[in-house]
Chains A and B, each alone.
Chain A
């Protein structure tokens, strides 16, 4: 069982998976063999709200650094999810088409978005550094 880094603020608990690296936007990256799996951090999914629709670029797409590899439409906002480095999409989570709520239910597990092969090395935050950034943002939003 994963021992998450946790931040409790008011009624909210935000978890950070220490086994992942992160982009400043809150995309987690986990090595899974030759590919890297991507998803939304717990903080980003809670901040965005219940996901109504999730769309990910199809397998085979080659995208530049900073390009949107996915987008989510929630009850609050529409969010483009950006790649930290150029990559090729290898696989998309098939569950997202019929049950996008899995992103909210299990952001670090079954709610993964896609798997990619990097075309260049991404600059990512270690879990502890992301936790620090997240805590700062969360405390600003929930003073």
Chain B
């Protein structure tokens, strides 16, 4: 029996930027807490360095990019790795929808940043459900 496909989550690797940190906090929330059975995190750095296993995972599974800025490195690396971007999230666009959650801080986000990451994670959860054909509520 073929195992169900997982959704690959590729967050921004921007170090020293609040929006990059938001992308990674949201990614961990989805992959480790909200949808651990349906998702897998692929570090952007492994795609950049051409890691074969990471490239294969991205090429063979739906891939969700979380871009921290307009350079859109996560989206670009998915494509360059032979994959297709199933859905792209830009943290700036999410912030535009949740203006009250202004992120600050780098190693540690402020409360606004944590709330923005949580909001982004909720939006990603819905996309993961859509891509895997699952409905909300069936996730342990």
Contacts and interface: CB of A to CB of B under 8 A. Distances in A.
Interface string B91-113: 01001100100100000000000
Say what secondary structure dominates the interface of chain A: mixed
B89 interface: no
Interface in A29-59: 50, 52-53
A71 to B, nearest CB: 13
Interface string A59-82: 000000000000001010000000
A1 B69 CA distance: 28
Contacts of A50: 69-70, 92
Interface string A95-139: 000000100100000000000000000000000000000000000
B92 A52 contact: yes
B18 A75 contact: yes
Contact of A53 (B18, B19, B69, B96): B96
A52 B95 contact: yes
Interface bracket on A: under 10
A73 B96 CA distance: 10
Contact of B99 (A53, A75, A101, A104): A53
B83 to A, nearest CB: 25
A75 B96 contact: no
B75 to A, nearest CB: 15
B18 to A, nearest CB: 7
B96 A104 contact: no
A84 to B, nearest CB: 29
Contacts of A52: 92, 95-96, 99
A26 B19 CA distance: 26
Interface of A: 50, 52-53, 73, 75, 101, 104
10 closest cross-chain pairs (CB), A and B: A75-B19, A50-B92, A52-B95, A52-B96, A50-B70, A52-B92, A50-B69, A75-B92, A53-B99, A53-B96
